[in-house]
């Protein structure tokens, strides 16, 4: 571990010096200096990330000899449920930021509400029908996410719509109040997890069902036989499908155009005939839906109010790292963060979360607008 | 002695000037708090739980006072408060158990650590502003919690740290009596209220207020954002850590575990400050009593309401959230504004009645 920090520090220092040399001697030859500067910083960050991966690879090589690559791929496969749920949660957070200009702290609680409903649905189906686990979970998934959708719409129409004229920090605090309300409400409605009232969502497929990844062997990438559970494969496909659907909706439909118009200026958008109320309500609903899916695909889990809190923190950090102003930046960050957290285990053990947060914090201090953000000039 | 000085020194005038002194209210609050303890010692049947609830609430008031300087004056929303309180508690536990330092030394260490941590967070707040600050402070609290969990040499990991109200004083271990600590907490609260009042009314407080309303305007008036942001964070962190130290000495047979210092506590402190009124000391006291004290003393008492609220603790949590939203949406200023409105109404009513009575007694005004 000590050697890692030494190497990492030296590499970071060299890159810092190189960046400064570039800034002093070569930056003046470029036309769009701000853009070039931002891109160079991104390049440095990616070099550092690649360097981290290389170091992880080397440590793995020292430990597992020729199976190092297999180890890294295995880490990636293990992180798939985390990555999928984080990507969905982060997208939901960014969607709400775009339409309501607030960072939604209640996102995790909305998501957990969906998970509770899904667990109740599983309970109900288990008692009344003789369905297979897969069917049950799929039905429960849609039921729970739909409840979260309704909750999102409800929150917007009852509270958020009437707090338009509040300051951003005031709005933020309203969402924090929502966190407390939902935290109290959920055990009241759904009860606590016990043997009489099991609030558990099973995996989509039993953990023993695995799909061998033969293409890795036939392409000659690794020697070892690797496999992933059917559950992770299906949730990967489902969440990619959801994200592609959402992004194409944002890009090609009238609703997406409305969201982008509302994001740039709500008042002008409403003057131009965009139904901002409907768009905001729908955005909250969709955010709830995505959150619900994100919470449910973390299965198998016991449901408790703190289920999504760590995902929420990760999602916020990803959104800050990737910049709230873009949709794709947070997505990339939300893939990167669990991956780094998983890989760091071999380097720093239990400290993986701390190290990743600290690295991100340092990066955000250097570049507050995030990886892909544009610098927004402050109005005076 | 001239006539004027003689008139000034009458008991009535002396009393009047004493009542009008800004510290008077703080002393009254401290005396009321101490009275609860004195009654208990004198043999009046004050429930143990009520007493502990008062003590805990006072500790949370100290945290809230620091937070109000940050939020009400600086306009900086932070969610790292719980982490800092926990850090204070852990410092006391670690240095008492493992090093055997005197409690005064530990308090000094806690203040120094608080200054360092506050400076770091303050620096971050210079780069990352507005809404993002809450997120970043949340991440910092998460880092602090991870440290509590993982640095077993310091915190004893998830098993928690067994302190049992022991402190080191004059080179020997003393097991503190909570009743004695209660008095210490009351005095600490008095000191903190006086300090907070002075910060609020001093040029520092005014500068922070200017910064809160508009950073650019404040800078144009020559206020150094750098200095005052750092100061606000340092003050609030010092308060939080001292509260953490007091917390560990007061609550009997508790030991800090990493799960105690999460977002939950930060949100409740935020609720207390906002519901009470984020820029008034009395407001914060009222808010904290409403959010923490009412719950601890009344709702979670087994004798009240047939134990209904013990079986359903989530109801009181929910009410706190509803209060936050109602206050922010409809009644900026919180409880203290309500109280001021009511007092103003009563004063006006009183004057009216007095006027009416004079009219009746001496006849209407001749004009």
- Kindly report the CA angle at B365 between B364 and B367, in degrees rounded to 5? 135
DSSP-assigned letters across all residues of A286-299: HHHHHHHHHHHTT-
> What pLDDT is attached to residue B252?
65
Q: DSSP 3-state helix, strand, coil percentages of chain B (rounded to 5)? A: 80, 0, 20
Distance between B204 CA and the closest CA of chain A, angstroms = 22
Contact A183 B321 (CB under 8 A): yes
Instruction: For residue B211, list chain A residues with Cβ-Cβ distance below 8 A.
Output: none
Instruction: Tell me whether residues A320 and B75 touch, CB distance under 8 A.
Output: no
Please state, in angstroms and rounded to a whole number, the distance separating the CA atoms of residues A263 and A316: 18
Tell me what ipTM this predicted complex has.
0.85
Span B83-99, mean pLDDT? 87
Nearest-Cα residue of chain A relative to residue B326? A174
Spell out where chain B has E strands.
166-169, 172-175
Among A189-193, B116-120, B157-161, which stretch is predicted with the lowest mean pLDDT? B157-161
Residues 263-282, chain A, touching B (beta carbon < 8 A): none
Interface test with B, best of A93, A105, A108, A169 (most B CBs within 10 A): A169
Tens of pLDDT, residue by residue over A27-71, are: 888 888 878 887 888 888 888 888 877 877 777 777 777 777 777
* Pairs from B220-228 (Cβ < 8 Å, separation ≥ 24): B225/B126, B226/B126, B228/B74, B228/B204
Asked, as a colleague might, if the bond just before A300 is cis with ω within 30 of 0, I would say: yes
Interchain CB contact of A158 with B (< 8 Å): no
Q: Under a CB-based contact definition with an 8 Å cutoff, are residues B262 and B88 in contact?
A: no
Q: pLDDT value at position B254?
A: 61
Helix, strand, coil percentages (3-state) for chain A, rounded to 5, are: 75, 5, 20
Highest mean pLDDT among B146-150, B308-312, B317-321, B338-342: B338-342
Task: Check: CB of residue B27 under 8 Å from CB of residue B154.
Answer: no
B329·A162 Cβ contact <8 A: yes
- Average pLDDT of every residue of chain B: 85
More confident residue, A137 or A207: A137
- The pLDDT of residue B260 is 77
From chain B, the residues in CB contact with A170 under 8 A are 328
Specify the CATH number for B3-362; select among 1.10.3470, 1.20.120, 1.10.10, 1.20.1420.
1.10.3470
% of chain B exceeding 90 in pLDDT: 26
């Amino acid at each position: 571990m000590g050697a890692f920090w030494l190497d990492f520090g030296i590499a970071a220092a060299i890159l810092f010096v190189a960046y400064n040399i570039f800034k002093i001697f070569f930056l003046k030859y470029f036309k769009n200096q701000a853009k070039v500067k931002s891109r160079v910083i991104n390049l440095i960050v990616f070099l550092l990330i690649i360097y981290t991966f290389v170091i992880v690879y080397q440590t793995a090589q020292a430990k597992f000899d020729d199976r190092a690559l297999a180890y890294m791929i295995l880490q990636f496969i293990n992180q798939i449920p985390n990555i999928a749920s984080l990507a969905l949660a982060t997208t939901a957070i960014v969607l709400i930021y775009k339409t309501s200009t607030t960072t939604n702290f209640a996102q995790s609680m909305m998501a957990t509400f969906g998970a509770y409903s899904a667990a109740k649905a599983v309970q109900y189906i288990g008692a009344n029908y003789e369905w297979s686990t897969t069917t049950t979970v799929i039905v429960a998934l849609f039921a729970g996410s739909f409840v979260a959708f309704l909750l999102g719409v409800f929150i917007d129409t009852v509270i958020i719509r009437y707090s338009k004229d509040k300051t951003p920090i005031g709005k933020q605090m309203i969402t924090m109040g929502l966190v407390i309300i939902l935290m109290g409400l959920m055990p009241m409605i759904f009860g606590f997890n016990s043997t009489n009232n099991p609030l558990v969502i099973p995996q989509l497929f039993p953990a023993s069902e695995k799909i061998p990844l033969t293409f890795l062997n036939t392409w000659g990438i690794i020697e070892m036989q690797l496999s992933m559970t059917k559950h992770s494969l299906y949730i990967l496909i489902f969440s990619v499908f959801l994200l592609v659907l959402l992004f194409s909706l944002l890009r090609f439909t009238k609703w997406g155009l409305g969201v982008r118009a509302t994001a740039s200026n709500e008042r002008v958008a409403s003057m131009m005939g965009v139904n901002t109320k409907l768009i905001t309500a729908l955005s909250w609903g969709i955010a709830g839906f995505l959150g619900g899916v994100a919470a449910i695909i973390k299965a198998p889990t016991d449901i408790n109010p703190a289920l999504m809190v760590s995902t929420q923190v990760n999602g916020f950090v990803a959104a800050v790292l990737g910049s709230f102003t873009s949709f794709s930046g947070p997505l990339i960050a939300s893939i990167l963060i669990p991956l780094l957290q998983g890989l760091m285990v071999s380097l720093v053990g239990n400290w993986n979360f701390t190290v990743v947060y600290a690295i991100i914090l340092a990066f955000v201090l250097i570049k507050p607008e995030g990886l892909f953000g544009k610098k927004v000039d402050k109005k005076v | 002695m001239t006539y004027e000085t003689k008139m000034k020194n009458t008991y009535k005038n002396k009393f009047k000037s004493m009542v009008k002194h800004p510290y008077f209210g703080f002393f009254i609050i401290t005396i009321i708090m101490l009275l609860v303890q004195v009654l208990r010692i004198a043999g009046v049947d004050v429930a143990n739980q009520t007493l502990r609830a008062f003590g805990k609430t006072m500790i949370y008031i100290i945290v809230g006072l620091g937070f109000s300087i940050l939020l009400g004056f600086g306009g900086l929303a932070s969610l790292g408060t719980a982490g800092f309180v926990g850090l204070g508690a852990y410092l006391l536990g670690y240095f008492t158990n493992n090093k055997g330092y005197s409690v005064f030394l530990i308090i000094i260490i806690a203040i120094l650590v608080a200054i360092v941590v506050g400076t770091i967070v303050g620096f971050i707040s210079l780069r990352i502003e507005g809404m993002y600050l809450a997120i970043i402070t949340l991440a910092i609290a998460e880092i602090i919690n991870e440290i509590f969990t993982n640095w077993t040499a310091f915190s004893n990991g998830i098993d928690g740290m067994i302190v049992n109200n022991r402190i080191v004083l004059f080179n020997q271990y003393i097991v503190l009596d909570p009743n004695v600590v209660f008095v210490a907490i009351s005095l600490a609260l008095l000191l903190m209220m006086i300090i907070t009042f002075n910060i609020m009314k001093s040029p520092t407080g005014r500068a922070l207020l200017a910064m809160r309303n508009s950073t650019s305007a404040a800078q144009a008036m020559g206020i150094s954002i750098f200095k005052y942001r750092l100061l606000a964070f340092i003050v609030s962190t010092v308060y939080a850590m001292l509260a953490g130290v007091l917390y560990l000495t007061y609550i009997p047979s508790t030991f800090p575990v990493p799960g105690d210092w999460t977002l939950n506590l930060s949100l409740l402190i935020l609720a207390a400050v906002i519901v009470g009124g984020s820029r008034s000391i009395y407001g914060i006291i009222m808010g904290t009593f409403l959010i923490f004290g009412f719950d601890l003393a009344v709702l979670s008492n087994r004798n009240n309401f047939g134990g209904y609220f013990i079986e359903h603790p989530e109801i009181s949590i929910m009410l706190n959230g509803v209060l936050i939203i109602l206050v922010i949406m409809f009644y900026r200023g919180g409880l203290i504004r309500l109280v001021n409105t009511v007092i103003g109404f009563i004063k006006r009513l009183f004057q009216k009645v007095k006027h009416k009575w004079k009219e009746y007694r001496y006849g209407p005004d001749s004009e």
